[in-house]
Structures are given as structure tokens and as C-alpha cells.
Structure 1
């Protein structure tokens, strides 16, 4: 994972993390990490796939199961496909709630008061 300094829409600096995924066909895709969610005692990562210019034109996000090896903090995190439709829907709903809370936080930004 790599980290770059970016600014949020509110102007606050934020560190952006990214990962490079190898798809089943061997294609490498750079993805921005949006967030890691905890849903039903499991962790999930939300990724924003980026094109060669670092952009995402269609707004599509990808959800994966996420885990880290507690015994080796330097090991790369593991991602897994979400194969169960109900599990996927739970993660999608949790992400919608996350987006709603982000929008709410921007509405009550203390810098605008």
C-alpha cells in the first residue's frame, strides 16, 4: 500500500492509501482505499478503482473481505471475494450509512459556523 497526502473537500489534509490489485485475468488495477468497515464482526475494505490517470469516471466501488495477520503486523493484509449475496448487501448497506455520516459531518463542519 502507498500513502500520499491529499486534501479533503473540507480543505483538511488527509492521507490517502492505495492498493494495487491483480485481477483474475492478470490485469493490475490501482485502487484508492475509501474505508474499512466492520460489519457483523467481520472487516471489509471499500476500494475505488482508478484508471491510468488516477481517476474514476463511473463512481463504481469494490467491496472485499479484509483481514490482517495479528501475529505479523508487517504482513500484507488479505482480501477475499464476497461470494454470498446477503453478505454483500450488508456491506453495501453499511457503506451507504458510512457515506451518509460523511455527508452529515460535512454539513456540521465547525469551520463553517
Structure 2
């Protein structure tokens, strides 16, 4: 799967329903592959719809059903999270490098 988003394309928003009942509006940063699994990186927005000041990012497992409907799942292990966060950091570094070339 190719990496989607991350480079100034149109912003796509999603609403997460958290376990505590709170809804959080998020901007999709990218959908990327790490190992054999796809993941999605989301940036929670503040109440005014602006990116959060501390740069917090949520990362989830990402999949689509036969009809193309998306599904997000939590990352269960520290080992998996480490692999995924390292891959996301690589993507950020690549995006910064590409931005320097523009």
C-alpha cells in the first residue's frame, strides 16, 4: 500500500468515539504500512478545529471491509507500537526531506 496524505493534500477529517464517551475530531495525516499491516496516523484537533499545539498523534491499525468501509483497531503490544512509531517517524523524516527539495 502506498503512503497516503502527509504532504499537504486536502485535509480529511474523522471523528473518533473514545472509550470514555468523548468524541474527538481528528485530521488524517497518513495511512501507511508497517510490516504486513496498515496503520493510520490521526492528529486530534482542538475545539476550534485547529491542530493541537503539542503535536500529539494517535496511531491505530487500519483496515477496510469488502465494501471499502474503514475500521480502526488499537495497537495491543508495546513491540508492535514501537515498530509502527519508528515507521511513522521515518515517514515524517522523508516528508521533511521532500519539503526541503521543493
Fold similarity call, TM over 0.5: yes
Equivalence for 1:53: 48
Superposed CA RMSD in Å reads 1.3
Q: 1:83 and 1:30 mapped to 2: Cα distance?
A: 23
| Matched positions, count | 95
Q: Report the secondary structure of 1:16's partner residue.
A: coil
1:30 counterpart (5, 25, 48) = 25
1:40 counterpart (26, 35, 40) = 35
Higher-Rg member (1/2): 1
Q: Report the secondary structure of 2:75's partner residue.
A: coil
> What is the TM-score when the length of structure 2 is the normalising length?
0.88
State yes or no: 1:103 paired with 2:88: no
2:73 counterpart (55, 72, 80) = 80
Q: 1:48 and 1:26 mapped to 2: Cα distance?
A: 18
Equivalence for 1:93: 86
Unaligned runs of 5+ in 2: 1-7
